[in-house]
Amino acid sequence: MKKAITLIVFFLFSCNSSNLDCNTYYLIRHAEKVRLNPDDKDPELNEAGKERALVWKEYFNDLEIDKIFSTDYKRTMQTALPFSSSSGLTINTYSPSNIDYQDFLVKTKRDNVLIVGHSNTIPTFVNELIRENAYPDIEDTNNSNLYIVNICGEQVNHQVIKIN
């Protein structure tokens, strides 16, 4: 219920309903990962991470997501997989170091998009979408931030909420 009220208020103030060129981006960091080997650059999710991925699935099942994007790492793909499986949407991969944000905006025009990344890439992605430097990197222990960016024509609204 709290989620629904937050989203309703956000969207009421986000867009002029007569403007059809609206997109909403939902950006999350991957869920909790296995930390046994500090040299492992591509760990899988741990048990808490698998549970969080299911929480994300339930959260996004209530929204009308059109596309899913994830970096090509085990932990990000495993975070997106439960929602992808339940929604029937394909997970598209992207490279944070090789993305043209303007092109991305064009390719996702009028879509609601889920984007899964990392503590140092998701805030950058949000900042690029909103065209300002509003969000710092996420702390390494924080896997609960949900960034919501709504773009309607030239109007851009954004917020970050915690989902536990």
Backbone angles phi, psi at 125, to 5 degrees: -60, -45
- Class level of CATH domain 2-162: alpha beta
Structure confidence by residue, pLDDT tens digits, 126-157? 999 999 999 999 999 999 999 999 999 999 99
Structure confidence by residue, pLDDT tens digits, 44-92? 999 999 999 999 999 999 999 999 999 999 999 999 999 999 999 999 9
Q: Residue type at 3?
A: K
Structure confidence by residue, pLDDT tens digits, 4-59? 444 444 444 444 444 478 999 999 999 999 999 999 999 999 999 999 999 999 99
Q: How many CB atoms lie within 10 A of CB 164?
A: 6
